[in-house]
Amino acid sequence: MINTIQDTSKVIRVENLRKSYKDLVAVDDVSFEVSRGEIFGLLGPNGAGKTTTVECLQGLRRCTSGKISVLGLDPAKNIGELRRRIGSQLQDSELPQRIKVWEALDLFASITPGENGWRKLMKDWDLESKANASFSSLSGGQKQRLFIALALVNHPEVVFLDEMTTGLDPVARHGAWDLIKEIRANGTTVILVTHFMDEAEELCDRLAIVNQGKLLALDSPFGLTSKYATNMKAAFSYEGDDLPSMEDIPQVKKVTRIGGTVEVEGIGSFVSLMAAKLVNHGIVPNDLRTRQPSLEDVFLTLTGHRIEV
């Protein structure tokens, strides 16, 4: 194999990936690269093609066309070695109904020679009290935590997490985030599929926004918001009808009044200029608040609609 550029820091390369199911194009010409130790996110609404993409990378689905390399391996050719080196948490899968939690961990650990760290995983993911419970008796969140633990049991170099925190309560979600950061700190590359904005913002170093099979944008969460969601928002309460005209300020883009709340959108220093103008008119709101642009706004800009879960 002759590669023009041999960059070993890239653990995943995807070039012009396409996958169609009969006449439906689920993934349409997607390309990206992921570096070692990165938390890379795929964010998009239902049916965007996220699961299809990551399952092609894991060799669980055959892509229609395009080139995939994971850890330098082609999932279509070196699937055996690839599976030993990656970890998978799949969106839809189950375990035998009557298998016990510890049996599943022990079984999956037996694939890796000399592996016996599954007890620590059981503890980390808060499953110790359920060690002897059968899979079918677990709650949704407990099943999910078991699947994450199983994805990590072989000390993977790359771990794929597809909707990792679906079904977890807020405490468990934040716990999961901390554990994912810890896994990355140990050098594991993480591919995170999600449709939660806060999760993507909190965890991902870089983020691909996908919609209808297409990759619309790829950058850090900050990079995305500063590029696609430039408008900041400010809001305050005011009931009177002698509000000075904000539109005169060049940095202000939009003013809306809903009930007793005034919402102003703008760029750059508009908040300070607006506040000065208000004070000059003797209006001193005591609840002026600003909101930084979020991924939600990025998504709205890119697709024209809000992400729907």
Partner 1 sequence: MRTLGRLTLVEMKLFIREPITMFFTFALPLLFLFVMGGVFGKMTNGGAGDFHGLSAMAFYTPAYIALVLTSVGVVGLPGHLTGYRERGVLRRFRASSLSIWRIFAAQGLVSLATAALGGIMILIAGVFVFHVSLPQNPFFVILAFLVSALSFISLGLLLGAVLPTSRAAQGVGLVLFFVMLILGGAGPPPEAMTHLMRVVGDFTPMQHAVTLLQNAWQGLGWNWMEFGIMAGILIVSLTAATLVIRRNS
Of the ranges 20-28, 93-101, 187-195, 249-257, which one interacts with partner 1 (CB under 8 A)? 93-101
Q: Choosing among Mg ion, ligand ATP, partner 1, none, which partner's interface includes residue 154 (Cβ < 5 to 8 Å by kind)?
A: partner 1
According to the binding rule CB under 5 A, does residue 51 interact with Mg ion?
A: yes
CA distance 32 to 38: 13
Looking at residues 27 to 66 of the shown chain, list those that interact with ligand ATP (rule: CB under 6 A). Answer: 44, 46-52
Helices vs. strands in the chain: H and E counts, helices first: 10, 13
Looking at residues 19 to 78 of the shown chain, list those that interact with partner 1 (rule: CB under 8 A). Answer: 58, 60
Contact criterion met (CB below 8 Å) for 307 and 296: yes
Q: Choosing among ligand ATP, Mg ion, partner 1, none, which partner's interface includes residue 95 (Cβ < 5 to 8 Å by kind)?
A: partner 1
Q: Choosing among ligand ATP, partner 1, Mg ion, none, which partner's interface includes residue 15 (Cβ < 5 to 8 Å by kind)?
A: none
Q: What is the CA radius of gyration of the chain?
A: 24
Q: Choosing among Mg ion, ligand ATP, partner 1, none, which partner's interface includes residue 80 (Cβ < 5 to 8 Å by kind)?
A: partner 1
Count of residues interacting with partner 1 (CB under 8 A)? 26
CA distance 132 to 247: 65
Of the ranges 33-41, 42-50, 91-99, 175-183, which one interacts with partner 1 (CB under 8 A)? 91-99
CA distance 226 to 72: 33
According to the binding rule CB under 6 A, does residue 140 interact with ligand ATP?
A: no
According to the binding rule CB under 6 A, does residue 156 interact with ligand ATP?
A: no
The residues, any chain, with a CB within 8 Å of residue 255's CB and separated by 6 or more, are: 246, 247, 262, 263, 264, 265
Q: DSSP letter at 100?
A: B
Looking at residues 85 to 104 of the shown chain, list those that interact with ligand ATP (rule: CB under 6 A). Answer: 91
Task: Find the shortest distance in angstroms from Cβ 149 to partner 1.
Answer: 12
**Cβ-based nearer residue to ligand ATP, 17 or 271:** 17
Looking at residues 72 to 101 of the shown chain, list those that interact with Mg ion (rule: CB under 5 A). Answer: 91
Task: Find the shortest distance in angstroms from Cβ 213 to ligand ATP.
Answer: 7
**Nearest Cα residue to 226 out of 283, 127, 302, 298:** 298
Distances (CA, A) of 132 to 62, 99, 126, 141: 37, 9, 13, 17
From its phi and psi, is residue 280 left (phi > 0), alpha (psi between -120 and 50) or beta?
Answer: alpha
- The residue from 130, 143, 173, 195 that contacts ligand ATP (CB under 6 A) is 195
Strand partners, 193: 42, 162
Task: Find the shortest distance in angstroms from Cβ 88 to partner 1.
Answer: 4
- Residues lying near Mg ion in the complex (CB under 5 A) are found at 51, 91
